[in-house]
Amino acid sequence: MLSDDTAVPTHASEPDAAHDALIAALAEIERHVGRLGWDQPARLFALVRTDELVAAEPALAGHLTVTAPDALSSIEQEDFREGDDLQTTLERIQWSQAVAGCALSVERSFLPST
């Protein structure tokens, strides 16, 4: 689960390792989303501990590398639709206990008011 104070998994053995795991997962998501370019809808990813994912889904072992005990893997929620109000949509999501957190990719443009 995520701690309200640190926004990294609280079951991590060391805060620095958990922070590094979160940064690595977010960088992976950014690369994945960035390949598709601009004008993409909001995309939601579950973050799960890679070692737990491999234990639960052994067939994925050949596709995933456990680089550290606290490594996180992102799983895109392909059926996610932001709807009319993104905040309301996010408030309605329920995650299983296996999910350590989530990441959301949203494109926003800010233009001058002229």
- Mean residue pLDDT of the chain comes to 84
Q: How far is CA 2 from the centre of its chain?
A: 12
**23-32 contacts, C-beta under 8 A, 24 or more apart:** 24/67, 24/71, 24/72, 25/71, 25/72, 25/73, 25/74, 25/103, 26/103, 28/74, 29/74, 29/103, 29/105, 30/105, 32/74, 32/76
Q: Residue 29 in 3-state DSSP? A: helix
Name the pTM for this structure: 0.77
pLDDT in tens, 46-69: 999 999 998 898 898 888 877 777
